[in-house]
A = this chain, B = another copy of it.
Amino acid sequence: MAKRAYPLAKVYGLLEPGPVVLVATQHRGRANVMPMSWYTMMEFEPPLVGCVLSGRNFSFTALNATRQCTINIPTAELAAQVVGCGNVSGRRIDKWKRFGLTPVPGKVVAAPLVDECYASLECTVADKRLVNRYNFFVLEVKKAWVDPACKAPRTLHHRGRGLFALAEQTIRLRSGKK
């Protein structure tokens, strides 16, 4: 997708609705990608994102070692690939090839962006204090990319066990806050 640089101050609007995302890592010459729903915004700017990765996941090892990843936001068209990426391990399988996803280089981190996703965030680990207890990383978004042609992304919201809600129709209400 033809992504352009996106203001860091607006990143919260991408992640606040809670879409499932694809986390990509690069470690010891191997790129990997996995779906994630357990994350939250923690600060507007610079954008901080807290997230939990299971310690059993190959991506946990990569993130913990390299302190770098990308967060990529898929739309409903990628639903099968997203679930597929969650059903196999990058230890044994090249998920990029298996699911037809394209790694493209970022500007800041070694981990690749997922080209098929409409938005990608380059992140570094900012705080590991809760990693031992909860597998919880605080990430800082260093660079953001969004495809400006994707005006109303139909994002996927995981309800558990492969059931997804699709967020699409939007309503606007007067808010005095961000």
Residues of A within 8 A of B (CB): 10, 12-13, 16-19, 37-43, 48, 50-52, 76, 79-80, 83, 86-87, 127, 129-130, 133-134, 136, 138, 155, 157-178
Contacts and interface: CB of A to CB of B under 8 A. Distances in A.
Contact of A136 (B18, B39, B42): B42
A162 B165 CA distance: 20
A17 B37 CA distance: 7
- Lowest 10 CB-CB distances: which A-B pairs, in order? A18-B18, A162-B175, A17-B157, A165-B167, A13-B160, A40-B40, A83-B173, A167-B167, A87-B176, A162-B173
B79 A12 contact: no
Contacts of A174: 83, 87, 162
A79 B173 contact: yes
The winner among A37, A86, A160, A174 for most chain B CB atoms within 10 A is: A160
Given A79-B173, A164-B173, A16 B158 contact: yes
A167 B134 CA distance: 28
Given A16-B159, A18-B18, A166-B168, 19 more contacts: A13-B161, A16-B18, A17-B18, A17-B158, A17-B159, A17-B165, A38-B42, A42-B52, A86-B176, A87-B177, A127-B130, A159-B170, A162-B172, A162-B174, A162-B175, A164-B171, A165-B167, A166-B171, A168-B169
Contacts of A173: 79-80, 83, 162, 164
A136 B161 CA distance: 28
A176 B172 CA distance: 37
B160 A165 contact: no
A138 B38 CA distance: 13
